Structure 1
Amino acid sequence: MTVEAGAGRLRTEADEPGWEVDPDDEWGVAVIATVGRQLKLRREAVGIRAAEFGTAVGYGEDMVYKIEGGKRIPRQEYLVKADEVLGAGGLIAATWEDVKKVRYPKKVRDLAQMEAKAVELQLYDPLNVHGLLQTPEYARGLLLMRRPAYTEEEVERFIAARVARKAVFERDPAPEISFVLEEWTLRRPLGDRAVLRRQLTPA
């Protein structure tokens, strides 16, 4: 098999904060370990070295080893490109359906599961715009205020999870949802006034 070299700088861990595997998430660890093992077996089966494979998919060799070793959560584009390079016929790309769930903290996944089954949601937040309504910018401003502070990786994971929970609005049939917010939450800027303005302006 011929592997074409990818163009541009290869991605490293510094380029992708928030894609580490939570060691306390047993289900997540098992999923990523299984996907990583399959990637390694397929790569070795076609005789491609890790460095060569990394160049083909646009990632550094160290990242390839960490993903194959179950230490890093692969992005969707990584899986799609790996599928093409290894000629997996869509089998590797299809693992994203499980992998994407590991991206979010376990407690957020559990909350999303309850929201997905609910027929009615009545939500109240006295301090901030509710998470289901937050823009990524607003969520970031809120998360950066936490003490002790979250790491950059944790902030990115929580933002991604919060955005993913908005899938509840796309359900069919949709649940009945009502929000009660204190007036103060609509006046207090997080980050700057532009962030609050975008939060309060319908898309």
Structure 2
Amino acid sequence: MTKRRELEQQPGTAGRRNDNRPGVWVAYGKLLKLLRKKAGVTQEQLAEAVGYSLEQTASIEQGRRPAKAAFTEAAERFLDAGGVLEAVQEEVDFAKLPAFFRDFAVLELDAVSHYSYEPLLVPGLLQTEAYARALFEAYCPKMSEELVEQNVDARLSRQKLFTKTPSVEFSFVIGEAALRNLVGGGEVMREQMRHLLKLRATGNVEVQVIPSLAGYHTGLEGPFVLLETAEQHWRFGYIESQSLGFVISDATWVSTLGLRYGKLRSKALQVDESAALIEQLLEEHDGH
């Protein structure tokens, strides 16, 4: 006879709260448990139906682990949840983002245009899963495997911005050094460069590359992002370094960043020329 098993909270933990658990993860877990109980389903049956382990499913119910979109879609079908879980998935994803980044992420959701400059790395919105994972696995201090997965999933979830309605205009200026640095190894970089070339087909994403021999330019002082929001066409800047970031709303500073971004685009190769350089670098990597 198979013993029914559920990984509930340990005795004596009732009423206690792990402050590291975002409230929306806890709320999602409570909803999931309520829906599961109403359906007369055990954790083990739910785990088998959605393709997760029992431990992972229990962790989601307890708010210790965020649900991925694939988990939510499968749970919705199995529990006939009527869209209840899907309604909070975006907030679950949002809570995966680093705390210092969330103010910017809120603004990013309302942007009508997005301008990004990054001299040394492929910008997060353009990263493949393998490239993003390589960055988080190399993070210092070292992240746990679970935290790496959460960060990768959060970064990839932001890429939904490319297909939102109404569409957002994206411009990325990348330093050539970002494309030559073998983050994650040769195969990861080859996949990353192929991904950059595919993005041209979206119609609302432009990628320009500043050659390494371009000489001095204002971008050498570091990366930044500019956003223009739909509401009253407010503009914001964002600067991040060493896992610290802050939003800039001062009109003078935002205007200065806008001027600098214009200078960077004039220094960079045109879109077609940039694609040709990426193809050349891809061929060089293929040859190794």
CA distance in 1, matches of 2:112, 2:76: 38
- Whether contact under 8 Å (1:108, 1:161) holds in the other structure is no
More off after superposition, 182-191 vs 78-87: 78-87
> SS at 2:170's partner residue?
strand
1:139 paired residue number: 132
- Whether contact under 8 Å (1:33, 1:70) holds in the other structure is yes
1:187-198 matched pairs, under 5 angstroms? 187-198=180-191
1:1-203 matched pairs, under 5 angstroms? 23-24=19-20, 29-45=22-38, 47-51=40-44, 54-55=47-48, 58-59=51-52, 61-201=54-194, 202-203=197-198
- Whether contact under 8 Å (1:122, 1:179) holds in the other structure is yes
Equivalent position amino acid for 1:185 in 2: A
Task: List runs of 5+ in structure 1 lacking aligned partners.
Answer: 1-21
Structure ranking higher in strand proportion: 2
Over 3 Å counting, the alpha-carbon distance change for 1:192 and 1:95 in structure 2 is: same
Equivalent pairs counted in the alignment come to 179
The C-alpha deviation readout for 1:24-61, integer Å capped at 9, x for no partner, is 46xxx222222222333344445555455555555555
Equivalent position amino acid for 1:131 in 2: G
Over 3 Å counting, the alpha-carbon distance change for 1:45 and 1:102 in structure 2 is: same
TM-score normalised per structure 1? 0.67
CA distance in 2, matches of 1:194, 1:63: 30
Q: CA deviation at 1:186?
A: 1.8
TM-score normalised per structure 2? 0.51
CA distance in 2, matches of 1:112, 1:64: 28
RMSD of Structure 2 on Structure 1 (CA): 3.1
Poorly superposed stretches of 4+, deviation over 6 Å: none
- Whether contact under 8 Å (1:105, 1:157) holds in the other structure is no
More off after superposition, 154-163 vs 54-63: 54-63
- Whether contact under 8 Å (1:104, 1:160) holds in the other structure is no
Q: CA deviation at 1:150?
A: 2.2
Higher-Rg member (1/2): 2
- Whether contact under 8 Å (2:60, 2:66) holds in the other structure is yes
CA distance in 1, matches of 2:191, 2:52: 35
Query: What percent identity do the matched residue pairs reach?
Result: 36
Q: Which has the higher contact order (CA 8 A, sep 6+)?
A: 1
Over 3 Å counting, the alpha-carbon distance change for 1:180 and 1:66 in structure 2 is: closer
CA distance in 2, matches of 1:177, 1:43: 41
CA distance in 2, matches of 1:134, 1:122: 16
